Structure 1
Amino acid sequence: MTERKPVGFPFETWIDRQIREAEERGEFNDLPGKGKPLPGLDRHLDEMWWIKQKIESEGLSMPLPPTLALRKEAEEALAEARGARSETEVRQIVEDINHKIREAIRTGLSGPPLNLMPYDVDAVVSEWRGQR
């Protein structure tokens, strides 16, 4: 499809002709997935589905803004504390993330609002004990 559209030839007609001729030459016969349903047709997709799919298929990653990265780290720390082996370990994990949260509140981070307060260490420990 290296030829240029002839002057005075409508785009739609010219494109239709290019597709028809390619089909006649069999250029679409060996495409991967031919005759198979399109994946994901049955699920609801948000408006950014194609960007997310492209990022995933290319193996790309995008760094989170600092506030969102800290929120994610805080969630992971809380999950880690719930699975800790000892009360001392729970306290250390929660105190470490609380230090980072306090520092972020004190200095401010770029990105969306942090909306995160330090965890109550005793409450997390009490929850941990309840799971044992």
Structure 2
Amino acid sequence: MERPRWETPVERAIREAQERGEFDDLPGAGRPLHLGDPEGPEDPLWWVRRKLEDEQLDLSAAMPPALAMRKEAAGYPESLLDLRTEEAVRTVLEDFNRRVRRDRLRPPDPGMPQLLAPTVDVDAMVEGWRALRAASQAVEVDPPVTTGQARARRRWWRRGR
């Protein structure tokens, strides 16, 4: 291999690595790079979706508020199962309806259609929450803890101090 008269430090590092054979056994050697979408060529933003998956990014903060609220409402009442009291569930749902009404007063972005999120029926959601909570409590029965497991838990607790 003929060496150029002048090369950048990066080019020199690459050339020296090639001479040492560090690039010889790389996975996929001798095959073309796959830069297309495996789902099909009709999605021009395939690379954005792949990057989001690779980086495990959540773009819910980038959504318009109405779409974010629609997504939030689609998770009800399942997303409310961690709440212990009916009062807490009602508080969350009433706050959601308050945010929806406030968002409706906001003027639409220029050049964009007005997106609206629907309010939720608080009483119907509370009934759904009650039914789901009763079903989940009937299923959740803790297995008995053996003496060895109890000792291991106590030792772990002491280690964490």
Question: Which TM-score band (shorter chain)?
Answer: 0.5 to 0.7
Distance 2:23 2:66 in 1: 48
1:126 maps to a residue whose letter is E
- Match runs of 1:82-97 below 5 Å: 82-97=81-96
Give the structure-2-normalised TM-score. 0.47
Contact 1:78-1:94 within 8 A present in 2 as well: no
Q: CA deviation at 1:83?
A: 4.0
2:51 maps to which residue? 54
| Secondary structure in structure 2 of the residue aligned to 1:50 | helix
Distance 1:28 1:98, change over 3 A: same
| Secondary structure in structure 1 of the residue aligned to 2:93 | helix
Distance 1:106 1:79 in 2: 29
Q: Tell me how large the CA RMSD over aligned residues is.
A: 3.7
Distance 1:35 1:89, change over 3 A: farther
Distance 1:112 1:76 in 2: 25
2:25 counterpart (30, 34, 38): 30
1:44 maps to which residue? 39
| Secondary structure in structure 2 of the residue aligned to 1:116 | coil
Give the structure-1-normalised TM-score. 0.55
- Percent identity, please: 38
Q: CA deviation at 1:64?
A: 2.0
User: Number of paired residues?
Assistant: 104
Structure 2: tracts of 5 or more residues without a match: 1-20, 135-161
Q: CA deviation at 1:34?
A: 4.0
User: Could you say which structure has the greater relative contact order, defined with CA pairs below 8 angstroms and 6 or more residues apart?
Assistant: 1
Q: CA deviation at 1:73?
A: 3.6
Structure 1: tracts of 5 or more residues without a match: 1-25
